[in-house]
Structures are given as structure tokens and as C-alpha cells.
Structure 1
């Protein structure tokens, strides 16, 4: 005779397994199969891609270059937000709160067209070190962030603003973990960005929205990836998405709170906003990651398989880099020992030496395990992964653009970026022969 109860148990296991597979597939289709138009704002980001997996490559579809954004909104906490537009300043949300203003934009250079930023954030003390990596698209930020998360005491968040910026073009509001709704329209991006970054730095995720928390980019963080795995598992147990997120966020907060170093990597925040966080977090260290604009353009061209936006992209990127240089110099003087300029070329050419200096700057422990990991990801691995940290040979990768870009395109980029070269020490290419002669340096030591 057949054992009916045994058959039912087996079918139940089959159905549970099938449900887990379907839930997992649904999650990864949602998180990784993202495809939309591309936008470049101030040379900072390029959002059109198809992510095929956590180590897969990207393909870009350049469609549009947006004009430079000159309206700047100074950010504060929920109690106070100041706007300074056309030299008029007004306060919203509780105007009775006393604040102080710090004008950091007395620049007399070409950055005068950027609206002044007003800073009025109260200082908060934490027994942790906060690290903010300010970078640009295709500047080596994935590699930098990955290196800095190898200290086991590090909590690393990869591009936490991507969901808000992307969905701000489509949605008016999103629901937060605490059940409230918040406006994420594009015009309010920097206000929302302030809350998101603070939430991760403070390990208080109640003000984060569900989309930000379960975004596929969070698989790039060693600890945030554990949250994603927890989320997938809960979905497989037929727990609804919101409850699954809330349950797993509890463990994520614990991992964050137990980490001495909290690192955020973003290509979506200009350097001028760094002072908001420097004032709020006395332990904050800012790493300003820079790469030769021509190398960045070449990387975009290679991914997009087009040269259509070479000049426009370079113009916007160099405009952003010029402003960031000014503010980074202001903050290096005002906050000594808390701002570090990192050249991708140095990290790729001398990964161990440069990584040691990064760990010294942040206070992290550069162990033999960390050293071995860095050696592995910079000397072997993938060469075609668009947003991965691994490179077949990172030192060769530094000069690759010189053998790929046409001399006439280089000349156009040099013309647009000449003032940036002077700030960062990059050198224009004089002749086509000089371009292909890799023994001739195109960056001077500053």
C-alpha cells in the first residue's frame, strides 16, 4: 500500500522548493534586470545598463546628456532645510530653530556659477569612523570601495542613492521602513540623499525606503549582501516583501552598529556637499577619487560602443571635477587630516602601497589577509566586468585609453579639460606619436 502521508510530505517539500526558486528568480529579475535611458549630470553618473549578475558586465545605451544643474539645495535634517537661490535665503520646516550659516563658496574661479551652499548641521559624536568616497562614473570607485571593505570591522554601502535618483524620474513618493511615505521627486534629490546617507552612517534604517534597501547594488557590500540573502530567504518562506525587508533590516542594523568603520561610496554627491557630513560627523574621512578624464571617457565609449558623446561627457565631467577641486582644497584647509585625494592611476599601478596609505588614512588594520585579497583582485580575475573590482592586470589598465582613443578625440577632450589638467596635474597630448608612446607620462607629480 502507498503511504499517503509520505507522498504529501514529499509534495510539500517540492512545492516549498519551487516557491523558493520562483521567489529568488523574481527578486533577481527585479534587482538586476534594470534597463533604462542614460543621463549624465555634471559628468557624474550613467544609469543606463543591464546588470546580468553580481559579477556580470554592463552595457550602456547613451541617449541623452542633461544640461549642467546650477540650482543647489543645502541639506539639513528633517527639522531644518535652507534654500539659497538668487541670493535669497528662506527657511522651511520649523523656522524657530536656531542655526548657523557657513558660506564656503567665495570662489573667484569658474565655479562662481554654482549657487552658494549653506551649512547648518549640528555636530554629533560617534565612537566610529565614517568614510565617504566621492567619485565619478568609471573612476575606479568600485575597486576603491571593495578594498576598504576588507577590514572585517567595516560596514560598506555601495551606491545607496541610485534607486532614489533613478526612480525620482518616475515616482512621486515611496514608502519607508517605518510605514511613512516620502517625496522623492527629482527636484528633491539632494534632500532625500542627505537622509539616506545619514541613515546608513547612523545605522538607523527606519527612514530608508524599501527600494533602496533591497536594491541589487547592495550585493556588492559584504554585509549588505547578507541582508539581500536574508530577504530572498524570507520571500521563499512566503513572507511578503515589506515584512521580509523589515525583519532582515533588524540584523542589518546590528551588523552596522557593531562595525567600527562605516563606508559609503557614491558618484552622486558633489564635493561641495561633503561639509554637511564633515560637520555632522567629527570622525568623518572623505576620499576624493580622481581619474584622468580621458580614461573615463574611453571607459564610457568602450561600454556604450559609441563616440557620440565624447566631448559633451568630457565637458560636463571636467566642469564637475573643477568645482570639486575647489571645494576639496577649501575643506583640506578647514578640516586638516580629513580629506584625501586619491588618484585611480596610483591605486591601479601600485595597489598595495596605495591601499596601505588608504588604510592608514582611515585607521583601518592593513593585515596580510587584506594584502592578499588586493593582490588577487588587481593581478588576476576579470577584465571585462563593468562594475566589478577585479581586473586582469590593473597596472596595464591605467594606460589602456592611450591605445584606444583617436588622437582627434583626445585633442577635443584636452581642449575642454585644460583647466582641470592644471588642477590635478594631467598633461595634454602634444602629438599622435606621444599618445602611443607609453614611456611619456601624461601626469606630473604635484
Structure 2
């Protein structure tokens, strides 16, 4: 009888172990698609291990030519101690932090991006590298193919965080020759790309629109840029082109990365007022509506586009604030208005969240660039007299335009703590703040 019970117990234990190993194998196989062998900087186009971009019927897909069978066999052998893969994933990034600053245009993202660009020798910062991707995927009638853009943005960001520029190269026009380009968008906005280590010899007669201002460099050698990136302790990217945070989930789950997402938001009424000035030609309908006495047609494409933008921002923030497992301790929401009012405090919070030391160099930059004169505070300037910028928009937008924004972006305004105005007088009353004091929990 004792032997019978012993056999039964052993049988049950064996079933439990088998089931646990099967679950682990399943999880490991799911992640193997992410766990590519890191490429050497800028492998030649067409090599079997590189990421190849395919265009088919107007959409883009990525083809990963990986040999998974040997890797899967290796992982199965490791299941003797099934905690090892988890331990390996936790240490894969080697303590390196990857920061992705997500925003939309005219939210102050260039200014906030400088908080990381000014970090110094241990930070590799890129300014809007997805500009090239968006430009390639722009449709003839305007706008982008969202179903193609989302995976393309995600894959390019992943490779850039790994210091691999080869996928980005395939979106650049003209295509770089021998990994050298004079057309990288806003190169001068990245201190890392203008350092001596990434500065190739000056070539007379070669025009580079976004050339370095701190030293005389030739066209950007992306191999040198990749090598410089690999030498940096941390990496940060600023982008206004990702629509939905959910599409970046594979980055958070990639064991080679330790990504922190910082979403920057701003009052949609202020964003629209700023865009009407900065992009006057694109927003001429809004300017016309503001000038004439007619009602704004809420079924107009421009109004629907505004609503879509607000909805995307709100849904991304709602996903982040829910703190699903894949975003736990990886998401932070910050309002531009809070940064403008308390730049040093908010910068310190962002650095604390990112797990990176807040250096004296960044502090000095913030002190110098939050007390700028009116002459220095241009439309695209990163120098701001921050205390004056917070609600300046209220005196440049008609009440009827503010009403339209409130109607189509109401849930977004409420989520982020922006007060509604019910009259022209309230809109322009300096004694009434439209910013609620609000704390967003992200840890």
C-alpha cells in the first residue's frame, strides 16, 4: 500500500514538473523572435543576418532571417535550471538605460529632449530619427499608412537603441553611400553626432543642411555614429511620430533593452494655437475659421484629425497609467506646463525615474535656458522664459476655436487636468489658471 501511494505521488510530481517546463518553453519560444544576436555596427546591406525592409502592395514588413532551431535547442537544455533564462534577460542590458521621449508636435518636446541631450559623455541622444521613416511612408494624398508605420517605427527604434543604423538607412533619401550621409534630419540637434568621435573630415563642396555647429564636420559616417553609440552608457531618443504606446510593447519586453517611456503632454488648446503659428500653411483652415464669423464645421477633416490626435494621446496615457505588467516601472507621464513652471524639479523627477544620475551639466543648462530673452525664444528655439510660456496661448486663440477643441478633446483635457473655459473673459483672465494641480502615479 505504501509503495502504491509513493508511485502516485511521484507520478503527480512528474506531471507538475512537465507542465511547468512546457509553460517555460512556450514563453521562451515567444521571446526568441525578439532575442536576435546583436549585429555588428552597420552590417553591409543584403547580409543574411541583417534586417531587410520589404515593400509589398504599399505596406512594409520586416523579414528576420534568423536560425531559431539551434537557439531553441540551447534554451531547452537550460531548462534543467529553468530560472536561468529569466536571470539572463534581467542582466542582458548590462545596466544601460534606454529612454524614449514620446510626444506630439508643439508640446515642448525639443526643449525637454535637451534634458537628456545635455547629459554629457555618458548619453547618446537622437533627435527625431523617425522623421525619415514617416517621410518614406507618407501617402500621395498626405498622412501615413498607420498599419505600416507602427511596426516600422518600432523596429527602427529597437535597432537604434542597439546602436544599429542599418534599418534607418533604408528609409533615408538619398540612400547613404558606404554608410555616409549628408541628409540625416537635424543632426545638429544631437550632441553625440557632433562630437569628435563622430566627426568625419570636412568635405569641401558637400552641402549638409543639418550640419554640426560646434565643429566643422563632414557628412555623417553612420559607422562612426554606431561606434560612438556603443561607447555610451545610456541612450535616449525623442520622437513625435509614435501614435500608440501599445505598439511599442515588444521594446519593453526585449531582454536586450531596459526601456523607460516618458510621455510628454500639453493642453490641446495650446498645441493647436502653437501649430497655427508654426505651421500656418497646414493650418490655414483653422486660421480662416478664427478670422471669419462663421461656426467651425465639426465634421471637417481637420477637426476629425484633431480629435484623432487627442484620442491617441489619451489612449496611450490611459494604457500607461493603468500600469500593465509590461509597463510596470517603465512609464512616466509629464505635463509640459509642469516642466515650464518647475523645470528643475521635473527634470530631477525624470532622471530619478530613468535611473540615471542628474548631472551638474544638465542643471546648468536648465538654469541658462529657462530664463531666455524674448529675442531668443523663437518658434523653434529650445531657449524659453518658461514662466511666461505656460498659458501664453490663451491670448492668441479665439474663444470659438477653444470651444471646438474642448468639444472634440474633452476626455483628454479632463484626464490631464486642464480646466474648461466657458467665456471669452475666462479664457483671457490671467488671474484664473487653467491648470489643475494633479499628480500622476506611474510607479
* TM-score bucket (shorter structure): 0.5 to 0.7
In structure 1, what is the equivalent of residue 245 of structure 2?
271
3-state SS of paired residue (1:379): coil
Query: Offset at 1:97?
Result: 6.4
In structure 2, what is the equivalent of residue 221 of structure 1?
190
Given the alignment, which residue of 77, 93, 99 partners 1:126?
93
Q: Aligned partners of 1:185, 1:319: CA distance in 2, in Å?
A: 18
Q: Structure 1, residues 298-338: CA drift from partner, whole Å, max 9, x if none?
A: 00011234552474453232121222122212446643322
Given the alignment, which residue of 241, 246, 267 partners 1:292?
267
Contact kept? 2:130, 2:153, Cα under 8 Å? yes
Contact kept? 1:169, 1:186, Cα under 8 Å? no
Q: Does 1:251 align with 2:224?
A: yes
Q: Provide closer, same or farther for how the CA distance between residues 170 and 317 of structure 1 changes in structure 2, counting only shifts above 3 A.
A: closer
Q: Does 1:308 align with 2:308?
A: no
Contact kept? 1:332, 1:338, Cα under 8 Å? no
Contact kept? 1:285, 1:339, Cα under 8 Å? yes
Q: Provide closer, same or farther for how the CA distance between residues 373 and 189 of structure 1 changes in structure 2, counting only shifts above 3 A.
A: same
Contact kept? 1:286, 1:339, Cα under 8 Å? yes
Given the alignment, which residue of 370, 373, 386 partners 2:379?
386
C-alpha RMSD over aligned residues = 3.6
Q: Provide closer, same or farther for how the CA distance between residues 204 and 282 of structure 1 changes in structure 2, counting only shifts above 3 A.
A: closer
Q: Aligned partners of 1:401, 1:333: CA distance in 2, in Å?
A: 38
Query: Offset at 1:206?
Result: 3.3
TM-score by length of 2: 0.64
Q: Aligned partners of 2:285, 2:398: CA distance in 1, in Å?
A: 13
Contact kept? 1:149, 1:155, Cα under 8 Å? yes
Query: Offset at 1:228?
Result: 11
Q: Provide closer, same or farther for how the CA distance between residues 189 and 228 of structure 1 changes in structure 2, counting only shifts above 3 A.
A: farther
Q: Aligned partners of 2:203, 2:417: CA distance in 1, in Å?
A: 51
Q: Aligned partners of 1:368, 1:227: CA distance in 2, in Å?
A: 22
3-state SS of paired residue (2:316): helix
3-state SS of paired residue (1:442): coil
Q: Aligned partners of 1:185, 1:341: CA distance in 2, in Å?
A: 27
Contact kept? 2:426, 2:432, Cα under 8 Å? yes
Contact kept? 1:227, 1:251, Cα under 8 Å? no
Given the alignment, which residue of 417, 422, 441 partners 2:433?
441
Given the alignment, which residue of 105, 125, 138 partners 1:156?
125
Q: Aligned partners of 2:337, 2:246: CA distance in 1, in Å?
A: 24
Q: Aligned partners of 2:64, 2:154: CA distance in 1, in Å?
A: 16
Q: Which segments of 5 or more consecutive residues in structure 1 lack a partner in the other structure?
A: 1-74, 82-89, 99-121, 172-183, 239-243
Query: Offset at 1:164?
Result: 1.9
3-state SS of paired residue (1:421): helix
Query: Offset at 1:145?
Result: 0.8
TM-score by length of 1: 0.64
Q: Structure 1, residues 382-428: CA drift from partner, whole Å, max 9, x if none?
A: 5553333112x122111111111111111111111111122211111
Query: Offset at 1:365?
Result: 2.3
Contact kept? 2:119, 2:361, Cα under 8 Å? no
3-state SS of paired residue (1:369): helix
Q: Which segments of 5 or more consecutive residues in structure 2 lack a partner in the other structure?
A: 1-32, 37-49, 54-60, 70-88, 174-180, 207-217, 287-301, 439-443
Contact kept? 1:227, 1:249, Cα under 8 Å? no
In structure 2, what is the equivalent of residue 189 of structure 1?
149
Q: Provide closer, same or farther for how the CA distance between residues 303 and 206 of structure 1 changes in structure 2, counting only shifts above 3 A.
A: closer
Contact kept? 1:155, 1:261, Cα under 8 Å? yes
Q: Aligned partners of 1:338, 1:435: CA distance in 2, in Å?
A: 36
3-state SS of paired residue (2:106): coil
3-state SS of paired residue (2:125): strand
Q: Aligned partners of 1:97, 1:443: CA distance in 2, in Å?
A: 52
- Aligned runs of 1:285-364 on 2, under 5 Å? 285-305=260-280, 306=283, 308-309=285-286, 311-331=303-323, 334-364=326-356
Q: Does 1:204 align with 2:192?
A: no
3-state SS of paired residue (1:414): helix
Q: Provide closer, same or farther for how the CA distance between residues 186 and 313 of structure 1 changes in structure 2, counting only shifts above 3 A.
A: closer
Q: Aligned partners of 2:136, 2:378: CA distance in 1, in Å?
A: 25
In structure 2, what is the equivalent of residue 144 of structure 1?
112
Q: Does 1:399 align with 2:379?
A: no
Q: Aligned partners of 1:412, 1:333: CA distance in 2, in Å?
A: 37
Contact kept? 2:101, 2:264, Cα under 8 Å? yes
